[in-house]
A = this chain, B = another copy of it.
Amino acid sequence: MYIEKIHGPQDVKRLTVGEMETLAAEIRKALLEKLSAHGGHIGPNLGMVEATVALHYVFDSPHDRIVFDVSHQSYAHKMLTGRAEAFLDPARYDEVSGYTNPAESEHDCFTIGHTSTSVSLACGLAKARDLRGGHENVIAVIGDGSLSGGEAFEGLSNAGEMGTNLIVVVNDNEMSIAENHGGLYGNLRRLRESGGRDACNYFRALGLDYLYVGQGNDLEALIAAFRQVKDTPRPTVVHIHTQKGKGYVPAERDRERFHWGMPFNLATGEPKVAPQGEDYSELTGRFLLDAMRHDPRLVAITSGTPAVMGFSPERRREAGARFVDVGIAEEHAVALSSGIAAGGGRPVWGVYSSFIQRTYDQLSQDLCINNNPAVIAVFAGGVLGMNDETHLGFFDIPLLANIPNLVYLAPTCREEYFAMLGWAIRQTDHPVAVRVPDGGVVTSGATFETEYGALNRYLVTQRGSRVAILGLGNFYGLGEAAARRIEAATGIRPTLVNPRYITGVDEALLEPLRTDHEVVVTLEDGVLDGGFGEKIARWYGPTSMRVVCRGVRKEFADRYDARELLRANRLTEEQIAEDVMALLR
């Protein structure tokens, strides 16, 4: 095998084109074996194998700098830069992250996980080079799906003005995670169809030179193109047309499902572990589609991740114009939602906690100043969501909860979630976000209020004394368990509260607790800094109440084990009970 002899790009440069073709086949085979056993990004990596080999053949990393957008397509790059064993040896599969990572290799320029950032980051490297008088090439590798994000446009337009060496490889596989959305993609199509010759050219309009490679999985064509642009003094786009999922029939056929996946059967492409019954994505899609049948004003919106809100291709077809995928363009999704609400529609945007980070100003300016009644369903908020440092789901509370006018709700179970979501859609007084429960569907069987318009009224679910536990959303159950432990150990029956509202303090509930409670505990599935608990701590600050806030430390935890993270933050039921009891005297 060639791949075993590749210890760095210098070893690629010694190969013939025929040998590189064999190398590409070996890489593809290793990728499929690892990904089918381990899970990961499948389609994006399979399509980029030849381009990655060609990049390392033509350019001289790490002297030349290659910045991968999103960087979930960097697996072949990792294999060619000294990390092949992490793909070949099952015992070492976990040695590398799923994204570029400067801590792993000098060939990785940045830790990157969100889309649309590579061109701007590369502009920075180019600017630093020019100040220094350097001559290396700076290369950004960006997928077509990432071009829809505003940051990518800002980067391209500024690259166009810089007038210096900066090579943008646009990997056009005609797909985002799902199909692409946005008028830009019509231009990419016309460019593909005209072999790059269409005079109306998005990249040229922004001031970049442009080169088209129709055979983006052909090594010779790629090598020729990269050689042509190497050392160019101009910002230049190399638009390569590749095939997502290339070389694996199931992934070529179902490109959306094979964008990212859990372990699968290599022979059939079927998941090894069947989906475990219902999840909140599936339930949400069903709920919204059903609600659409009764409410002609309802519109479901996604920004490139339809599956998280349960909109499979079938549901998308059924919803028709009532389902809008804006592509990876979260800022637009918020402003669009505000506009639809202002026009009398009922928009529901479903988004991952990690990606709502891209919209603070739109939430504040476009939505909340205008107080339009758009609805946001925030998925995978908390420590049980994605656990890569680039995709953490536990920063949404500080982001959202400190914006005026927004109502952010934290349901504790399935029934409460849909009660809150239903109210959010019906009401017309506030922008409302709902933090979709995470960590498995909890069916409490309980009945919940259907009206939440009297804001910031917490719910006492158990009336006790001395200790009150405010268990927010996902951590309500943890609060229940801690309360049981405290009662079993001390005979003290804590008061248990479901706060429901993340964005406000229920003063009428907190004040009387002062008469017969000494300790208030807040539990939140999120970072402590700027979060819910601190609002409670501030409110009780001038009083004699002892307040214990539990959540996670402010840090970019990476590939953590959720149980360990919780334990390290004293968030097990035993630890909470222990800490509370230590305060009782």
Contact = CB atoms under 8 A, between A and B. Distances in A.
Interface in A150-203: 150-161, 181-187, 199-202
A182 B235 CA distance: 13
Interface stretch (A48-56, A251-259, A440-448, A536-544): A536-544
A583 B336 CA distance: 49
Task: Identify the interface centre among A110, A235, A390: most chain B CB within 10 Å of its CB.
Answer: A110
Interface stretch (A123-131, A221-229, A260-268): A123-131
Interface string A558-569: 000000000000
A543 to B, nearest CB: 7
Contacts of A332: 120, 123, 151, 154-155, 158
Contacts of A148: 154, 157
A364 B117 CA distance: 12
Contacts of A128: 297, 339-345
A326 B151 CA distance: 12
Contacts of A369: 111, 389-390, 556
A124 B184 contact: no
Given A151-B331, A158-B326, A366 B554 contact: no
Contacts of A482: none
Contacts of A404: 554-556
Given A110-B370, A183-B208, A534-B530, A343 B125 contact: yes
Nearest to A204: B200
Contacts of A65: 343
Task: Identify the interface centre among A126, A156, A361, A543: most chain B CB within 10 Å of its CB.
Answer: A361
**Number of chain A interface residues as a range:** 35 or more
A347 to B, nearest CB: 7
Given A183-B208, A207-B184, A326-B158, A124 B549 contact: no
Contacts of A347: 124
A528 interface: yes
A357 interface: yes
Nearest to A148: B157
A23 interface: no
A361 B358 contact: yes
Contacts of A474: none
Interface stretch (A12-20, A394-402, A486-494): A394-402
A537 B529 CA distance: 11
A361 B330 CA distance: 11
A217 interface: no
Contact of A187 (B205, B343, B358, B530): B205
A296 B339 CA distance: 47
A535 B542 contact: no
Contacts of A207: 183-184, 186-187
A102 interface: yes
A112 B358 CA distance: 19
Contact of A360 (B357, B389, B390, B547): B357
A381 interface: no
Contacts of A113: 365
A22 B149 CA distance: 45
A199 B199 contact: yes
Task: Identify the interface centre among A124, A159, A533: most chain B CB within 10 Å of its CB.
Answer: A124
A236 interface: no
Contact of A366 (B121, B157, B324): B121
B187 A109 contact: no
A453 to B, nearest CB: 19
A235 B183 CA distance: 10
Contact of A541 (B122, B405, B527, B548): B548
A541 B530 contact: no
* Closest 6 pairs (CB-CB, A-B): A124-B339, A150-B150, A160-B183, A183-B207, A128-B343, A120-B335
8 contacts: A124-B343, A125-B340, A130-B321, A154-B326, A160-B182, A183-B206, A199-B199, A360-B399
Interface of A: 65, 102, 109-114, 117, 120-132, 148-161, 181-187, 199-202, 204-208, 235, 296-297, 299, 321-322, 324, 326-327, 329, 331-332, 335-345, 347, 357-358, 360-362, 364-366, 368-370, 389-390, 395, 398-399, 401-405, 527-531, 533-535, 537-538, 540-544, 546-549, 554-556, 583
Given A124-B345, A131-B322, A150-B150, 13 more contacts: A123-B332, A124-B339, A126-B343, A131-B321, A150-B152, A153-B153, A157-B184, A157-B329, A357-B365, A360-B361, A402-B527, A402-B529, A404-B555
